[in-house]
């Protein structure tokens, strides 16, 4: 045992091995979290859609208790036994509440099983590749859509850092000095997937969908890049970990309630920040190809858009790619504007001085909560706003956002000139 421990510490003391092992651990964590959030956001989408449209949504898929014969037939349900054991009357308030939650029929999962069953269904469906497609690009396209969002997650910090006896672990897979640009560049590459899917399908509607996706994504990338410049001017760095760190010390970009954020100058700067937040969030909606901007797969005029000819797991890759892009977009908005992993009000530093691992854990949980909240906002917008018309989408980008972003940069520059 001692030899094993000694061997472990020997391996970890080597800086190369330490770096390699921690990076692999972080990679696995980030990958798992993103895939879990893709599944979770599908579920949130359906439940919130049901809620907004005043219907239950998928709440039935669960683990029915009658599968487990050994628990007894319907008359002798485990719930009834449990209630009797606890001394609750079978028609009292608690029993009625349990029945309303359907606890008497199934293990409560609130429909969380639905995305898993969907995945199974898509996996088992017949894979149809039409005879008239361009095979290589037809197969390549779904990969090019799903890959980039997963890669671009590498630069997003999900907690602060910890000091271990072997060295510092920065809770960010790749702490690059070009953080947001990396996300823009890599997630911008997913446009190849959409375009190639449309073209290689060799059929009319997918082709139109692919063309629309190309035009829309390129246009909104310009507006997105311009809209974050005021924020980068304020922080003076492109490193996402440093941006979040300064937000933890001096107040979140939009809510500077503590530290140096409580000054008049900082609150004046909130005006351009708010403008850039609204623009950036809208561009993220457009980049993730979601309603009200889902021109490329608008079923009323394009059947299914670029993925009309796809079936089974290839279709599921497009689907997952879209949700992964949504998760990464939300993570970027949270990181840039809503404080990333920071808990706020100076709690981070207090926790870190108490126990660094505890602080990191709390920050991770807070980050995931913020992410969930923003994903909820994403879904809320989708089921509330109607879809725009094609020319409206392009006009909004080129005639409103680009100009507004340039003006916003000038405004920020003027404010910063007079402050300093």
- List contacts with another protein (CB under 8 A): 137, 176-178, 181-182, 184-186, 188-189, 191-192, 195-196, 198-199, 207, 210-211, 214-215, 217-218, 221-222, 225, 238
Considering the complex, what minimum distance in angstroms separates the CB of residue 401 from another protein? 16
Which among 286, 309, 282 has a CA at the least distance from the CA of 390?
A: 286
Q: Which is nearer to another protein, 137 or 252 (CB)?
A: 137
Considering the complex, what minimum distance in angstroms separates the CB of residue 207 from another protein? 7
Distance, in Å, from the CA atom of 338 to the CA atom of 371, rounded to the nearest integer, reads: 10
Distance, in Å, from the CA atom of 202 to the CA atom of 23, rounded to the nearest integer, reads: 42
Which among 307, 299, 304, 126 has a CA at the least distance from the CA of 201?
A: 307
Q: What angle do CA 147, 374, 188 make, to 5 degrees?
A: 30
Distance, in Å, from the CA atom of 370 to the CA atom of 157, rounded to the nearest integer, reads: 13
Length of the chain measured in residues: 420
Distance, in Å, from the CA atom of 188 to the CA atom of 167, rounded to the nearest integer, reads: 35
Give kind and range of the element (H or E) at residue 188. Answer: helix 179-188
Considering the complex, what minimum distance in angstroms separates the CB of residue 174 from another protein? 10
Contacts of 344 (CB under 8 A, 6+ apart): 248, 251, 252, 255, 257, 258
Considering the complex, what minimum distance in angstroms separates the CB of residue 136 from another protein? 9
Q: Which is nearer to another protein, 172 or 316 (CB)?
A: 172
Q: Are 377 and 369 in contact (CB under 8 A)?
A: no
Q: Which is nearer to another protein, 74 or 204 (CB)?
A: 204
Q: Which is nearer to another protein, 37 or 161 (CB)?
A: 161
Q: Are 12 and 21 in contact (CB under 8 A)?
A: yes
Considering the complex, what minimum distance in angstroms separates the CB of residue 139 from another protein? 14
Considering the complex, what minimum distance in angstroms separates the CB of residue 195 from another protein? 6
Q: Which is nearer to another protein, 23 or 291 (CB)?
A: 23
Q: Which is nearer to another protein, 96 or 204 (CB)?
A: 204
**Two tokens at 157?**
């910090």
Q: Which is nearer to another protein, 11 or 222 (CB)?
A: 222
Considering the complex, what minimum distance in angstroms separates the CB of residue 95 from another protein? 59
């Amino acid at each position: 045992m001692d030899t094993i421990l000694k061997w472990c510490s020997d391996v970890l003391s080597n800086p190369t091995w330490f770096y390699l092992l921690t990076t692999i651990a972080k990679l696995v964590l980030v990958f798992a979290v993103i895939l879990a959030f893709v599944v979770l956001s599908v579920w949130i989408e359906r439940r919130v859609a049901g809620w907004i449209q005043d219907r239950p949504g998928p709440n039935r898929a669960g683990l029915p208790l009658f599968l487990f014969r050994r628990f007894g037939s319907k008359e002798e349900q485990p719930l009834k036994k449990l209630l009797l054991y606890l001394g609750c009357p079978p028609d009292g308030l608690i029993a009625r509440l349990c029945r309303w939650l359907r606890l008497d029929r199934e293990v409560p999962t609130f429909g969380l099983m639905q995305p898993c069953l969907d995945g199974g269904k898509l996996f088992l469906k017949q894979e149809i590749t039409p005879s008239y497609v361009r095979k290589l690009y037809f197969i390549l396209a779904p990969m090019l859509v799903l890959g980039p969002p997963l890669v671009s997650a590498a630069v997003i910090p999900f907690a602060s850092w910890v000091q271990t006896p072997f060295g510092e672990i920065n809770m960010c897979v790749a702490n690059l000095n070009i953080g947001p640009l990396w996300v823009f560049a890599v997630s911008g590459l997913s446009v190849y997937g959409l375009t190639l899917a449309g073209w290689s399908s060799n059929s009319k509607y997918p082709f139109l969908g692919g063309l629309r996706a190309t035009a829309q994504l390129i246009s909104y990338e310009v507006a997105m890049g311009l809209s974050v410049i005021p924020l980068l001017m304020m922080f003076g760095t492109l490193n996402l970990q440093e941006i979040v760190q300064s937000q933890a010390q001096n107040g979140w970009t939009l809510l500077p309630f503590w530290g140096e954020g409580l000054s008049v100058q900082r609150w004046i700067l909130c005006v351009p920040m708010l403008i850039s937040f609204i623009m950036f969030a809208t561009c993220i909606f457009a980049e993730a190809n979601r309603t009200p901007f889902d021109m490329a797969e608008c079923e009323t005029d394009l059947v299914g858009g670029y993925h009309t000819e796809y079936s089974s797991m290839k279709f599921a890759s497009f689907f997952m790619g879209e949700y992964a892009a949504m998760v990464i977009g939300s993570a970027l908005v949270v990181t840039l504007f809503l404080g990333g992993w920071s808990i706020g009000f100076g709690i981070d530093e207090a926790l870190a001085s108490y126990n660094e691992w505890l602080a990191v854990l709390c920050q991770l949980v807070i980050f995931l909560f913020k992410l969930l909240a923003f994903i909820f906002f994403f879904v809320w917008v989708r089921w509330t706003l109607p879809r725009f018309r094609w020319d409206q989408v392009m006009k909004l980008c080129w005639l409103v956002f680009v100009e507004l972003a340039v003006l916003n940069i000038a405004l920020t520059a003027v404010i910063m000139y007079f402050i300093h």
